[in-house]
Structure 1
Amino acid sequence: MVAVAAIHGVGSDEQAWERCDWLWQQPETTLAELCAGVRRIVVVAPHPDDEVLACGGLLCAAAGIGLQVKVVAVTDGEACYPGEAWWTPQRLRHARRGELRDALADLAIDAGSIVHLGIADGKVNAHETALEDWLWQTLREDDLVLAPWRFDGHPDHEAAGRAAWHASRAAGCARLEYPVWGWHWLDPAWAHMAWEQPRLLDISAVAARKRGAIAQFRTQTGDVPRLHAHPILPAHVLIRFYRNHEVYLA
């Protein structure tokens, strides 16, 4: 399928997603089932915060049972507030790296687990082949790759998702996709047409820790001084990631 996505405005209301019976009636999966035969989880994040928003519960639970976690920060998300006098790309790059480090610490994941690739924010598609090659050389057969949904609606997400899809196939390892902006533009009534084999993971045991980790991304929630633009993650976006379940696409 080809997604024609609109990720501006308030997007699909969370209450509409709550009424999406088709999705929430899917069988639940367990961490043990998702990670059967896996020794390492590699999460590919187009921007710092994507990995925690979409996968924070799984990552926290996996770290808790001793699974190795590797976070691939594809960009530093430095282009999120164009035109801001104080929050320049250079300042955002530094701040967002720190936010990612602090958020992962809340999930019991060490900063040494992060690999910063430093690809320019908004330009991942121009480096898609290089990203695919780097991932292919990095991945192992006993990895589980978590990557953005290839039709998520944001160019960086889709390029990172495609690169991870091809690299994981070449490496022979397991892969799951996660939606971020798909929750925003997709009509819940049509979710069954877009998402094949969704897997629901109950994260209620670590949901509070995930919410604490999300709060570390202060530049994105607007909890910083001298920011005049609307935050990237206002309340109506954040609520989609405060659920007690995470959804992964096989």
Structure 2
Amino acid sequence: MDAVTVRIEGRGTQEADWDDCVWLDALPSVEADTVLLGARRLVVVSPHPDDEVLGCGGLMQAALAQGIAVQVVSVTDGEACYPDHPRWTTARLRDARRRELVTAMQALGMDASHVTTLGLPDGAVARHETDLAAHLAARLLPGDMVVAPWVHDGHPDHEAVGRAARAAAISCGARTLQYPVWAWHWLDARAAGGPWTSAQRISLCTDSQARKRLAMTAFATQTGTVEDLDREPVLPEHVLARFRRAYEVLIG
């Protein structure tokens, strides 16, 4: 997450408001098996370590359960999340967040072999968008399902990654879906209608929810459970609440 746009300020839309959201409740509910039907591989593209778990940690588990190969492409290391912090420097954060990602993958039933890290600069992915799209296109094959952030998520890195992944998938004949992360912060839960013409809620079983929540705790630098942070974490409790639902939303 990190380096956010002006729309992502304050506490944002609370989970209690999403619980009462008419247009969110009206989205069709489907099982993950249905979404994954025909997929040869699930490729999850993540702007920063944690976005892949928050956005589709349940879908990754469902793919593994079906014997579908899962690959996570971690575009940046999220090293810019605490700018100018005297102790949590960019180098320290880069190392810590890579370790956290591996721990999170283990909680979901995977290991480091399921992760490819690209090391693009956190907060500046848009400057490398063309190269990112080309890199992804070189990795993809027809039959892949590519899942990446919503192209209007409200964070510049998320949107650039979403655009690059969509372009790569189209060029390779791969299927593509998008997941919202920061959109839950700034979208209006009380609006008459939602922003997506095509979206669905992916149901998560109790075990899948538990594994996802455990994976979320791996990102200690983001939740604030590390020493010497002395400032508001990127993922405080009111943000984490949005990703403890019994479902995930996929767009497309």
* TM-score bucket (shorter structure): over 0.9
Preserved CA contact (<8 Å) 1:200 1:245:
yes
Paired amino acid for 2:211: R
Deviations 1:103-122 (A, max 9, x none): 01000012101000000100
TM-score by length of 1: 0.96
Q: CA deviation at 1:8?
A: 1.2
**How far apart, in 1, do the equivalents of 2:204 and 2:51 lie?**
17
Q: CA deviation at 1:192?
A: 2.9
Preserved CA contact (<8 Å) 1:86 1:226:
yes
Partner of 1:89: 90
3-state SS in 2 of match to 1:190: coil
Preserved CA contact (<8 Å) 1:45 1:51:
yes
Q: CA deviation at 1:26?
A: 2.2
Within a 5 Å distance, the mapping from 1:86-235 to structure 2 comes to 86-190=87-191, 192-205=193-206, 206-235=208-237
Deviations 1:96-136 (A, max 9, x none): 00000000100001210100000010010000000000111
Preserved CA contact (<8 Å) 1:41 1:69:
yes
Partner of 2:67: 66
> Which runs of no fewer than 5 residues in structure 2 stay unpaired?
none
**How far apart, in 2, do the equivalents of 1:6 and 1:204 lie?**
33
- Aligned counterpart for 1:236 among listed residues 229, 235, 238: 238
**How far apart, in 1, do the equivalents of 2:95 and 2:50 lie?**
14
Deviations 1:214-246 (A, max 9, x none): 000000000000112210000010000000010
More moved, 122-131 vs 4-13 = 4-13
Q: CA deviation at 1:191?
A: 7.5
**How far apart, in 1, do the equivalents of 2:178 and 2:191 lie?**
18
Preserved CA contact (<8 Å) 1:73 1:116:
yes
Q: CA deviation at 1:21?
A: 1.9
More moved, 85-94 vs 183-192 = 183-192
In the alignment, does 2:16 pair up with 1:11? no
Deviations 1:185-238 (A, max 9, x none): 111133734112111111133101100000000000000001122100000100
Preserved CA contact (<8 Å) 1:64 1:108:
no
More moved, 132-141 vs 15-24 = 15-24
Deviations 1:133-163 (A, max 9, x none): 0111111111100000000000000000000
3-state SS in 2 of match to 1:194: coil
3-state SS in 2 of match to 1:243: coil
TM-score by length of 2: 0.95
Paired amino acid for 1:119: L
* Structure 1 segments of 4+ aligned residues over 2 angstroms from their partners: 189-193
Paired amino acid for 1:95: A
**How far apart, in 2, do the equivalents of 1:177 and 1:5 lie?**
22
More moved, 91-100 vs 61-70 = 61-70
Aligned residues, how many?
247
Partner of 2:55: 54
> Which runs of no fewer than 5 residues in structure 1 stay unpaired?
none
Deviations 1:43-70 (A, max 9, x none): 0000000000110111112112211000
Change (3 A) 1:186 1:139: same
Q: CA deviation at 1:5?
A: 6.2
Aligned residues: CA RMSD: 1.2
